[in-house]
Structure 1
């Protein structure tokens, strides 16, 4: 994998950590997730007007990805109702790289070298270590189930979009339409939370929509990278967002124990290096 592609994916991971930090600090996470989804729709509405239509073969993947994203938002919201973010997030994200590599092998015959698998393992260990003090206290059955469901949804839409963007003939068009169809997710949350939305201060609206802009940009970078690198490797590098989120929490929110988080960062950095140098 070229250093340029690695840099693109790590940039996406940092942006992903930023928007998750926005959600983490929100009082009403379900409503904020709806605003994040709406934040995708605003720029995408302009983009689909000026960009060519993506390849016909890819549009079914855009629709399927939208359905899976709906499941992702549902599972994530439910997981946060039953467990803390510091418990739910590492479980959901930690299982994704291996699942994506497995789906890519079964569906696309993408085979990762042993070095990449070792790197994925180090990244997964780093994800768990970053929130070990929360995880060791135990996790309820409902929180665990919804966290695993969230991770499963992430792995599925990662592979769906990896296939779709390669068929689209235009990464920007695929990205724009996928973001625009977040309209259905934002609309569903809006209908469920309409009384809350009317009472939200302008600052909360702005923060949520800004989170959507950042999230959309982060995923656009990931889609671009999927044109040039194995899906399992892309997913593993993207999940380093967990440690970036942990570092943001430590530096800006004064959360957690720095020695453990430094150890997690070292593990994940080693994993990144192995994946990046694996081919």
Structure 2
């Protein structure tokens, strides 16, 4: 039950910082400030925790590279499409990919109830996207979101392996320090230093979003030390429900009865996972 509460709390926080990133007037600047906040906190953790154990550096480097690709895809998705559609697709692609990898590659065993729960969560999340019948003009946005989902699945698998080989805070510190300082440099290389000259409120919002994202990620890493990878990945992506609600309330994006039913399917999947 504790793991369930922790992962659902992380889901709420994750939807919150993604909404903050989408709602920024200058989204690339918002992502840069968010990343910078996580980089500073990561540096503090690194100074306290020290180096990762020998033989675990590839986890740190691999997750950092995948996170950079994830942030790039996420930014492209939000530039091209609606939050309530792009966020569910990006997050909804991940659980079933992780489930397949965890069973086929990592040879983890899933209880029948957990497997059905993962499938229900994934189906409900994907329905939240395609109920709106996206057209051809949205194909670039959909491709960016699905690519982002594959990156999420990839770093989820790497993270799940890493937290069993080194302390969670050590891993968290190194990954966030590396990607937290690298991401603003990429944004500056793309847009120039002027991109960081934002109103005080926008900077504070970006920094706050970075703190929220780090806490959400840390909670999920801890949960991965206590549960199966596929189940945690599925529960984590319930952030999509909260994201859809945020999109409807704060961005004026349509939710509607069909999406409410899809959200109910997700909840049914969560219940199945939590009972196994």
Q: Within 2, Cα distance between the matches of 1:54 and 1:72?
A: 23
TM-score relative to the length of structure 1:
0.91
Q: Is structure 2 residue 176 aligned with structure 1 residue 179?
A: yes
Partner of 1:124: 122
Which deviates more, 229-238 or 197-206? 197-206
2:243 partner SS: helix
- What do the CA deviations read for 1:239-259 (whole angstroms, capped 9, x no partner)? 000101112233444432353
1:218 partner SS: helix
Partner of 1:21: 19
Contact 1:61 1:164 in 2 (8 A): yes
Q: Within 2, Cα distance between the matches of 1:258 and 1:121?
A: 23
* Cα shift at 1:90: 2.0
Contact 2:238 2:266 in 1 (8 A): yes
* Cα shift at 1:263: 2.2
Partner of 2:71: 73
Contact 2:29 2:196 in 1 (8 A): no
Structure 2 unmatched runs, 5+: none
Q: Within 1, Cα distance between the matches of 2:90 and 2:80?
A: 14
| Distance of aligned partners of 1:253 and 1:140 in 2 relative to their CA distance in 1, 3 Å threshold | closer
1:234 partner SS: helix
Contact 1:44 1:177 in 2 (8 A): yes
Aligned ranges for residues 207-246 of structure 1 at < 5 Å?
207-246=205-244
Q: Within 2, Cα distance between the matches of 1:131 and 1:99?
A: 17
1:6 partner SS: helix
* Cα shift at 1:269: 1.3
Q: Within 1, Cα distance between the matches of 2:126 and 2:247?
A: 16
| Distance of aligned partners of 1:56 and 1:107 in 2 relative to their CA distance in 1, 3 Å threshold | farther
Q: Within 1, Cα distance between the matches of 2:204 and 2:164?
A: 34
Partner of 1:4: 2
| Distance of aligned partners of 1:145 and 1:265 in 2 relative to their CA distance in 1, 3 Å threshold | closer
Which deviates more, 253-262 or 22-31? 253-262
Q: Is structure 2 residue 131 aligned with structure 1 residue 145?
A: no
| Distance of aligned partners of 1:230 and 1:198 in 2 relative to their CA distance in 1, 3 Å threshold | closer
TM-score relative to the length of structure 2:
0.92
Contact 1:243 1:264 in 2 (8 A): no
Structure 1 unmatched runs, 5+: none
- Supply the RMSD in Å over aligned alpha carbons: 1.9
Q: Within 1, Cα distance between the matches of 2:105 and 2:233?
A: 16
Which deviates more, 173-182 or 183-192? 183-192
